[in-house]
Structure 1
C-alpha cells in the first residue's frame, strides 16, 4: 500500500467514525425528545423521533437502556390520547413496512409504532406501489406528531395487527382494505446488562412505564414535570392491589391495605405482582386499571406505590384529587 493509499484509507476510516458518532448523537437526541415530551418538559415528538425508536423495534438498531425508556415513554404518550371514535387511516410503503402480495385474510402485525395518514391527498399517494386503507377502532393509542402536515400523520400504538378484507389493483397501484383486529403491544426484552433495572427485580423483566416514572421521580423528587408524568403513567397503566383472597371475576379486592407514610394514610398499590410478592408474599395481586384505582380511593386518602422498595412513591390525597379534576375536564 502506497502512502497515498494509506492516507486515503485513514481518511475514509475517520469519516466513517465521524458519521457513526453523528448518527449516535442524533439517535440520543431522538430518544431524549420522546422522554422529554412524556415528562411534560417539551412538545410532541417528531416523525424522525418515532423512526429512531422503530429502528430499535425492527432490530435495525441496538436496544439500549435509553432506547427502552424511549419506547415506554412513547407508549405512555400514545395512551394519553386514544382515538375517540372509529377512523379510517392510510398506510404507505414509505411510512410503514407493508408486506408484498397481500391477499384477503392475511394478517399483519407490526412490532413497531405504525405511522399512518388521515385523508391523504392523491398527490401524496401517486408514487406508492401499494397502499393500505385500515379502519382503526375507538380507543386505539394514537398521537399526532409535532411535524404532522395539517394533522395528516398519526402515530398508532406498537403491536397493531390488521387483517386484509379486500385487494384490488388499478392504474399500477395495489389498494388494500384492512381492519385492525388487535392493539396489544408485544413485550420488549432488554439485554442482561441493563444497568437501570432495580436489583430486586428479575433482569429478564423490562421495567414498565410506571416503574420508570417512579424511578425518575425518586431521583429528582422536586420535579413538578416528573410528578405530572407519573400521574399520567399511573392512569394509563395496569396496577395491582393486594387482596387476602384471590379475585377472579374482575371485582375489587376484598379490603384495602392501608399504610402511613410521612403522616398521611395511604392505600397500597403495586406496579407488578413481583413488587407485591417482595413486600408481602401471602397477598394476591388484583389487576386494576390505573385510573379506576385513582378514582376508587377515598378522597381523604393518598396512594403509596410499591411500599417497601427503594422506589416507593407517595401520591398525596390532595394531588390525587387535583389530577382527577384535570381528567374530568378533558
Structure 2
C-alpha cells in the first residue's frame, strides 16, 4: 500500500490511517515524530484523523485548552486511555497479587515442608529417646538385679563366714581348753610353795623337806625331781618368788597338799609359816602350799576369790587344777570354768 502524500510504499510498522478520509500515510508524512507515533495506542489509531480532516471541523472562533490541543494533536482519546490504564493497573495489581500469593504459597509450602521435616526428625528423636530410656531402664534393672544378687551372695557369704567364725571360735575355745587342760595335767605332780622368804645360799630341796616334816608328810630327796624359784607374774609385787617343785608322782603331790590343809586346820592359831621352816631374823610370815596352776587358771582363781569377797562366798578352792566356789557349808559347790560364769553370779 502506498502513502497518500509521498506515494511511496508504506509498511505496517510505519503506517497510520485516517478514519475519516481513509488515507494511508507514513507517520512522518502525517507530521508525527517517531516517539509521538509510538505513544498512540492501537485502540486510538482506529480513531486517528489526519490534519486535513481535523481542520474541516475546527472553527476560527473555537478555543481549545492546552490539554485538548495536545490530545488532539496526538489523536488520543483520554477516556479510552484512562480505561486502558485502569485495566493495565488492574492487570498489574492482579499480577502482583498472583505473584504475592504464589510467593506466599511457596514460602508456606517450604515452611510446611520444613515443619513436616522437623516433626519427622523430632519423631525420630523421640523414638531414639524412647530407645535410650528403654536401654537405661533395662540397664538399671540389670544393675538392680546384679546388686540384689551381689547383696544376696554377700549376705549368704557373710552368714557363712559368721557360722564358720562361730565354729572356728568354738573349736578354738575347745582346743584352747584342751591345751590348758593338757598344760595343767603336765603339772599334776607339781606343787607351789608361796611366800617363803628368800635368802642367799638357800637350799630349796631342804626347805621342801622341812615343810614336809612340819606337816607330817616326809619327802625323800629322790622324790623331788625338780625345784626352783619362779618369776613373779607381777614384777612390782613385794611377795617373795614362789618355790616350784616337781614330785615323783601326782599321788605324792596330793598327799603333800592334803597334809598342809590338815596341819592348818589343826593349828588355826599357828598355821604354816616361816618360823616352822627355821627362817629367823625377820617377822613371821604365812606360807602357802598350793597346786601349780597354769597362768590362765591363776587369773581365774584370783578372779574367783575377788568375786567371792564381793558376794560373800565362804569357800574358794582348787582341786586338780579346777577352781570351785561355795556360798556356805549347806549350798552346792560351783565349778568356775571361765570368767563369764563369774560375771553371771549375783
Category of TM-score, reference length = shorter chain: under 0.3
Higher strand share: 1
Higher RCO (Cα < 8 Å, 6 or more apart): 1
Q: Over alpha carbons, which structure has the higher Rg?
A: 2
- Compute the TM-score of the two structures, normalised by the length of structure 2: 0.21
